Structures are given as structure tokens and as C-alpha cells.
A = this chain, B = another copy of it.
Amino acid sequence: MRFTSEQRLDDGVLEREFTLGEIPGILWTSGSAPAPLILIGHNGGLHKRESRLVARARHSAAEYGYAVAAIDHPGHGERPRSAVDDQARADLRRAMQAGEPVDEIFESFIVPLVEKAVPEWRTTLDALLSLPEIGGPVGYSGMTAIGIRLAVVEPRIAAAGFFAGGFVPRAQREEARQVTIPLQFLLQWDDEGNDRQLALDLFDAFGTKEKTLHANMGGHAGTPWFEVDDGNRFFARHLK
């Protein structure tokens, strides 16, 4: 892990960009004592520098003292896109404009993303946990598909907050039963691109008994800010 930039922000948070092999990431910390760590897994198409993600990360570090990390998943952010990625995105746009079904296109796109991103998160976790300012335990917050697989294969993930608004491949819908860590599941009730009943079924399927659903009105990007605090308090109950 190599830190490539370092900046002290006006909220006192130290923001450091890093690379780990091909993986570019950002680490936000607010102190030097070993802090619990939250990994933020952003959704398809997004970037580790996406403004809401950065606002959430800084708030979690500044107000709650967490160390927070985000990486660019393969084909996302500043990472090169493969021809296959570009083709899938073009197919997706065309199918959406034509009002055609998109599930199989999403499967072709998200399944390999999960396969590649989860080992990268585990490698990143190894590196982050070797830093003196990060003490664990570890929470994951963000994209559901990657989060399910990560929660199933990575025993160091102690609690997770999943955002329901995103495609979840069949394989991860099956794996949901194996998720046994405490979970907070965040649903936008009127998310135009995502089926509400599928999300409720997924909430039902998670294997953990300590799961809470938070549903709010509005579309995909309309999650109210108070859910950021609710998420941090959820982690405070389980990461300390």
C-alpha cells in the first residue's frame, strides 16, 4: 500500500489517496488511536470521489471517529474499462431506451464485478488493518451485491449496511441466506430502477436475525441525510 497524496481537510479529517497494486483508494481518518474501520463499496458506475460518498465518509470519520476507506472497483472511477465493460454499458443503455428487459445484461455485468471486487477488498483489508491507526472491527457499507459476497467469505466483516437500490445477481440472492452478521438494509421506496418486492424478498432472505430495514420515500438517489447518522449509530452498536 502506497500513499500517493495526503490532505488535512477543514473538518480535521486526514484524507489520503493510496494505491495497492492496481487498486486506487482513499482513506479518511480523524485521529491516531486505532479506530474501527468502515469500507464503503460504491454502486455501479460510481467513483470513490463521488460527492455523496465523500460527504458520508468524512462525516463518519469526523463525527464518529471511524476510519473509512473506499476503492475504485474494476472498470470504475479512474480504473481502465475493458471492451466487455463498454459493451455491457452500451447494451444496457440501448435496452433501457427501448424498454427491454435488462436483468440478463446486468447479470453479465455485475457477476464478474463481484468476482473481481471481493478479492480486491480482502487484499485492501489486509493492508488497511496493518496500519497502526486502524484497529478493527470492520464494517461494510454500500453496494449490496459485493457486500453479500464479502460478508459471506470474509470473517473480519462484523456488520454491514447494504443499499437496496442496485442490481443483485441470482448468485448473491442465494448467498443472502448465508449472511449471518448484523445488517441494516436501506431501501428507497419509489426507486424507479429497482423492484421493491425483490428488495423486500432479499431482506427476508438474509440469514441474520439482527437485521433492520429502513425504507424512505423517494427515488434512487433520494436517501435522506439522517440515514447516514442512523448507519453510523448502527455501526457504533456492532463495531465497538
Known: A209-B217, A212-B215, A217-B210. A204 touches B189 (CB 8 A): yes
Chain A, residues 208-227, CB within 8 Å of chain B (1/0): the string is: 01111111111000001010
Which residues in chain A, 185-240, are within 8 Å of chain B measured between CB atoms? 189, 200, 203-204, 209-218, 224, 226, 229-230, 233, 237
Please measure, in the bound complex, the distance between the C-alpha atom of A102 and the C-alpha atom of B200, giving whole angstroms: 27
- For residue A217, which residues in chain B have a CB less than 8 angstroms away from its CB? 209-211
Please measure, in the bound complex, the distance between the C-alpha atom of A164 and the C-alpha atom of B21, giving whole angstroms: 50
Residue of B nearest to A218 (CB): B209
Interface centre among A210, A213, A217 (most CB of B within 10 A): A217
Please measure, in the bound complex, the distance between the C-alpha atom of A224 and the C-alpha atom of B210, giving whole angstroms: 10
Majority-rule SS of A interface residues: mixed
Q: Is the CB of A214 within 8 A of B213?
A: yes
Q: How far is the CB of A222 from chain B (nearest CB, A)?
A: 10
- For residue A209, which residues in chain B have a CB less than 8 angstroms away from its CB? 217-218
Chain A, residues 117-131, CB within 8 Å of chain B (1/0): the string is: 000000000000000
Please measure, in the bound complex, the distance between the C-alpha atom of A179 and the C-alpha atom of B209, giving whole angstroms: 32
Q: How far is the CB of A238 from chain B (nearest CB, A)?
A: 11
Report copies per complex: 2
Known: A189-B204, A200-B200, A226-B237. A215 touches B213 (CB 8 A): yes
Please measure, in the bound complex, the distance between the C-alpha atom of A218 and the C-alpha atom of B218, giving whole angstroms: 27
Please measure, in the bound complex, the distance between the C-alpha atom of A213 and the C-alpha atom of B200, giving whole angstroms: 12
Interface centre among A210, A211, A213, A229 (most CB of B within 10 A): A213
- For residue A237, which residues in chain B have a CB less than 8 angstroms away from its CB? 226
Residue of B nearest to A215 (CB): B213
Please measure, in the bound complex, the distance between the C-alpha atom of A212 and the C-alpha atom of B200, giving whole angstroms: 15
Known: A189-B204, A237-B226. A214 touches B212 (CB 8 A): yes
> What is the interface of chain A, defined by CB distance below 8 A to chain B?
189, 200, 203-204, 209-218, 224, 226, 229-230, 233, 237
Instruction: Supply 14 further A-B pairs (C-beta < 8 A) apart from A210-B217, A213-B214, A213-B215.
Output: A189-B204, A200-B200, A203-B215, A209-B217, A209-B218, A211-B217, A212-B215, A212-B224, A213-B213, A213-B216, A214-B214, A226-B233, A226-B237, A230-B230
